[in-house]
Amino acid sequence: MRLLVTGGSGFIGRNLLKQVDSSCEVFDFSRSKGHDLRNFKESYDTIREFAPDCIINLASNGGSLHYVSSFAANVIHDNVRMYVNLYEVARLLDKIPFIVNPISNCAYPGNTSIQKEDEWLNGPPHESVHPFANAKRTLYAISRCYAKQYGVKTTNLIFPNAFGVEDSTDPNHTHAMGGMIIRMLKAKRNGDHEFEVWGTGNPVREWIYSEDFAKYLLSSLAMPPLLEPVNIAQGRGYAIKESVEIIKELMGYEGNIVFNTKYKDGDPVKVLDATKFTSIWGDYGFTDHREAIQKTIRYYELCCL
Ligand SMILES: NC(=O)c1ccc[n+]([C@@H]2O[C@H](COP(=O)([O-])OP(=O)(O)OC[C@H]3O[C@@H](n4cnc5c(N)ncnc54)[C@H](OP(=O)(O)O)[C@@H]3O)[C@@H](O)[C@H]2O)c1
CA atoms within 13 A on the CB side of 276: 15
Distances (CA, A) of 219 to 21, 158, 225, 281: 11, 14, 12, 9
**Angle in degrees, CA 161, 177, 246, rounded to 5:** 120
- The mean per-residue pLDDT over the stretch 47-66 comes to 95
Could you please report the per-residue DSSP string of 104-136?
A: EGGGSPTT-SEE-GGGTTSSPPPGGGHHHHHHH
Ligand 1 atom at minimum distance from 9 CA: 43
DSSP 247: H
Residue 171 has pLDDT above 70, yes or no: no
| Res. 41 pLDDT band, cuts 50 70 90 | very high
- Rounded CA-CA distance 174/166 in Å is 10
Q: Rounded to the nearest whole angstrom, what is the distance from the C-alpha of residue 142 to the centroid of ligand 1? A: 18
**pTM value > 0.85:** yes
pLDDT at res. 175: 80
Q: First-to-last CA distance in the chain?
A: 39
| Res. 294 pLDDT band, cuts 50 70 90 | very high
Ligand 1 pocket, residue 30 CB under 6 Å = yes
* Phi, psi (rounded to 5 degrees) for 94: -60, -45
Residue 158 has pLDDT above 90, yes or no: yes
pLDDT at res. 265: 87
Q: Rounded to the nearest whole angstrom, what is the distance from the C-alpha of residue 149 to the centroid of ligand 1? A: 28
Ligand 1 pocket, residue 9 CB under 6 Å = yes
| Res. 23 pLDDT band, cuts 50 70 90 | very high
- The mean per-residue pLDDT over the stretch 153-166 comes to 97
| Res. 64 pLDDT band, cuts 50 70 90 | confident
Ligand 1 pocket, residue 32 CB under 6 Å = yes
- The mean per-residue pLDDT over the stretch 249-268 comes to 93
- Rounded CA-CA distance 216/222 in Å is 10
pLDDT at res. 111: 85
Ligand 1 pocket, residue 11 CB under 6 Å = yes
Beta bridge partners of 205: 238, 270
Q: Rounded to the nearest whole angstrom, what is the distance from the C-alpha of residue 62 to the centroid of ligand 1? A: 7
Residue 173 has pLDDT above 80, yes or no: no
Average pLDDT, the chain: 95
Q: What is the pLDDT of residues 267-285, one digit of tens each?
A: 889 999 999 999 999 988 9
| Res. 172 pLDDT band, cuts 50 70 90 | low
- The mean per-residue pLDDT over the stretch 31-57 comes to 98
- Rounded CA-CA distance 22/297 in Å is 29
Ligand 1 pocket, residue 159 CB under 6 Å = yes
Ligand 1 pocket, residue 173 CB under 6 Å = no
CB 206 within 8 A of CB 271: yes
- The mean per-residue pLDDT over the stretch 245-274 comes to 94
Could you tell me which of 181, 245, 171, 170 has the C-alpha nearest to residue 209? 181
pLDDT at res. 305: 67
- The mean per-residue pLDDT over the stretch 42-56 comes to 98
CA atoms within 13 A on the CB side of 186: 12
Q: What is the pLDDT of residues 199-251, one digit of tens each?
A: 999 999 999 999 999 999 999 999 999 999 999 999 899 999 999 999 999 99
